[in-house]
Structure 1
Amino acid sequence: MELSKEQLLQIDNYIFSCGIKFYDVRTEIVDHFANILEQKLDKNQDLNFRQEIINIHKNFSERGFQNLLKEKTKSVQKRFYKASFKHFITFFKLPKIIITGAFFYGLLEVMHLIEDKEVFFQLLTVSGYVTVFSFFLISYFKKKKKKELFLALDMNNNLVIIINNAIIYFNTITIFRNEESFLNPIYNNIQLVIFVLALLFYWSCQSVYNQNKKIVKEQYPNILV
């Protein structure tokens, strides 16, 4: 017996109340519940629908939903970073390696124009913090919109952490370098390479996030993403 929209919504609301906020994860669990309930309704159409939902939930064990969410979160994060790394590698293959080389060369020329190299790297640090702040603002305003959460897209916080840690690390290098080291072009070039690599990795993460968002929109065309 096929479930009605009201019954499916009842299952969805129950699962949401159990702490599963991500729409894509809820959809999977709803499908699982619906299949079981349809079989039960075929045998007994007078069963207590609400109670049967609770009974099925009990089969998941006390922390069944949370364990499922934890497993899926690990899986999504693993796929995300794997895809990001693959995208990152493309910056060192044709044709993107030309962009990478041009970007590095451009920064190198700017560094040569600025006499005080410490100031140059401090400016790079500031630009990094501006990036984090901009990303935070965009994420904040997106969250204010009334829309469903998707585990596949729940990477904003991770990206902010990655960027922030990279900037802190970069700033730490700048702070602990002495005046003599800023006169050494090798040290300057190494630090510049670190900055470029960090920026390219962020670019890769953002690109993969946008790709995932496009896929989610195609999978759930009627849901605001």
Structure 2
Amino acid sequence: MKLSVEQIEQLFTFTKKHFVEHYDVQVELVDHLANAIEDQWKENPNILFEDALQTEFKKFGVFGFTGLVEQKQAQLHKYYNKMLWNEVLRFVSIPKVIITAVFYLGIFYLLNYYTYWAENVLLAIMFISFLYLTIDGFRFMLIIKKEQKNKQRTWLIQSVAQSVFSLPIIGFGGFYFNMFGHFFESSNELSVLGMHFLSLFFLLHFILFHVFFKIIKPKFKNEIRQTEKRFQFV
């Protein structure tokens, strides 16, 4: 026995009813449930569709599909976090470590010999780039929202992308503004340790900025396009 088109639609409705909003996860669950129900019918053709569905649903435990969705989100977050930090670490490994060291020493030299001018210029550049990252992050998330509304479908990868691009705003926003406030207040009074710290902070900021825009964002865009292609006829 095979499921009818109407029963397949009932499975999609069932997954939506149990808080699975992402279409790619819905398809995966519907495929799993359909195969499991058909396997039950092989053993006992008299089992009702609803009874077979409830039997399979109970196997997901008290939290239903929620645990599966959270697990998939956690896996994607882990994947992209690992990618982010691996790309950052590339800047302290051969051969990029040479460029990183030269950049760091150049910042420290400017702060050491042109303290007031260099400090304020560096902080201004950092502040502007942080604002740009924030605005572009919001713009990227709005584009995703618009695509979801137009296509009436959401993908799990979109949800993770929105979360990752809100990280600089939500996760580091307060820290950045505290840093800006501290250094602007103590302008031209930097100790040697303070110069090293600001040089390191500025360097890390631009490495993260580069990784976000040159690697992470294009990767997300490509993954979203590939997901759309994979499910366009489903």
Q: Evaluate the alpha carbon distance shift between residue 20 and residue 132 of structure 1 in structure 2; reply closer, same or farther with a 3 A threshold.
A: same
Amino acid at match of 1:15: T
Moved more, 122-131 or 178-187: 178-187
- Partners of 1:212 and 1:27 in 2: how far apart? 21
- On the 8 A contact 1:2/1:38 being kept in 2, the answer is yes
- Partners of 1:164 and 1:105 in 2: how far apart? 31
Q: Secondary structure at the match of 2:32?
A: helix
- Partners of 1:93 and 1:5 in 2: how far apart? 55
Matches within 5 A, 1:21-170: 21-43=21-43, 48-97=48-97, 100=100, 112=114, 115=117, 117-118=119-120, 120-146=122-148, 147=151, 148-153=153-158, 154-170=160-176
CA positional deviation for 1:64: 2.1
CA positional deviation for 1:41: 3.4
Q: Evaluate the alpha carbon distance shift between residue 136 and residue 26 of structure 1 in structure 2; reply closer, same or farther with a 3 A threshold.
A: same
- Partners of 2:5 and 2:189 in 1: how far apart? 67
- On the 8 A contact 1:166/1:198 being kept in 2, the answer is no
Alignment identity in percent? 21
Q: Secondary structure at the match of 2:60?
A: coil
Over the aligned positions, Cα root-mean-square deviation in angstroms equals: 3.5
Q: Evaluate the alpha carbon distance shift between residue 97 and residue 133 of structure 1 in structure 2; reply closer, same or farther with a 3 A threshold.
A: same
- Partners of 1:179 and 1:143 in 2: how far apart? 42
Amino acid at match of 1:161: L
- Partners of 2:36 and 2:166 in 1: how far apart? 40
Structure 2 alignment gaps of length 5 or more: none
Structure 1 alignment gaps of length 5 or more: none
- Partners of 1:38 and 1:15 in 2: how far apart? 18
State the Cα deviation string for residues 119-177 of structure 1 (Å, max 9, x = none).
64144223302211221022112211134333344132233123443343132123224
Moved more, 51-60 or 25-34: 51-60
Name the count of aligned residue pairs.
224
Counterpart in the other structure of 2:231: 223
